[in-house]
Amino acid sequence: MRTLQAGPCNVNVYQTISDHHILQDFQVPEEEGIRRELYQLFVKYCEEYLYHSDLVVVTDYIINMPNILNTQLYIKNVCMAMINYIYNLGFPIVRYLLSVNLNHRNGFYARFDNAIDHYVTVDLPYDPKTNQILYVIDRSVRRKKIPHHTFIIYDSGIVTQSGPNRVANEIAYNAFLSTVQEIRPLVEKGVCVWDVSSIRK
């Protein structure tokens, strides 16, 4: 029974609590044989259900969940899908000039949109069978799903390189660094000249 005050009068309200209604204010019993972590798990579920019958469905599923393995899990083999490297060119770059001068040079394809990107994205197609660089004429490397290395270059000169394996990545790394050195006077911040003549057609 609860007593509510309505103006000058008190109103007695009788509320029937069903045996199937879950009461939230209870303590963890101090009894032997009760695993405290499981009990706390069920208590957490109690907060999400109003009726005992709904909670029973969940707890029965947990208790009676069948085992799908009867042996200990262990790692048998590691399949390498991609390796990421982070390094620095050693000098800052002008992103737009890097994308223009690197694009279509030595097999690289570069793109940069200063409205949405903070970095230059560079793709370098390769042959998965030989790990060698592919000189693809078509620009749609990503759309045609041609395997390629990816380089992300920030204006600070920091580079994130992604590739399939160590051998292919080393080939791409050497090709990238040698190409960047070729165009360094055209893309290095504070050194390059910001005019049309400095942009490679």
For residue 184, what is the domain's CATH number?
A: 3.30.310.10
User: Does residue 120 fall inside a structural domain?
Assistant: yes
Residues whose CB falls within 8 Å of the CB of residue 89, separated by 6 or more in sequence, listed in order: 153, 157, 158, 159, 177, 180
Residue 174 has pLDDT above 60, yes or no: yes
Which range of residues forms the domain containing residue 37?
A: 2-63
Residue 119 lies in a domain: yes
Co-location of 57 and 98 in the same domain:
no
pLDDT of 140 reads 59
Give how many domains the chain has, as a whole number.
2
Answer yes or no: are the C-beta atoms of 83 and 164 closer than 8 Å: yes
Classify residue 94: in a domain, yes or no: yes
pLDDT tens figures, 92-135: 999 999 999 999 999 999 999 888 889 999 999 998 889 888 88
What is the predicted pLDDT for the residue at 68?
76
Residues 191, 127 share a domain: yes
Please indicate whether residue 162 or residue 59 has the higher confidence score (pLDDT): 162
Coil, strand, or helix at residue 50?
A: coil
Is pLDDT larger for residue 35 or for residue 84? 84
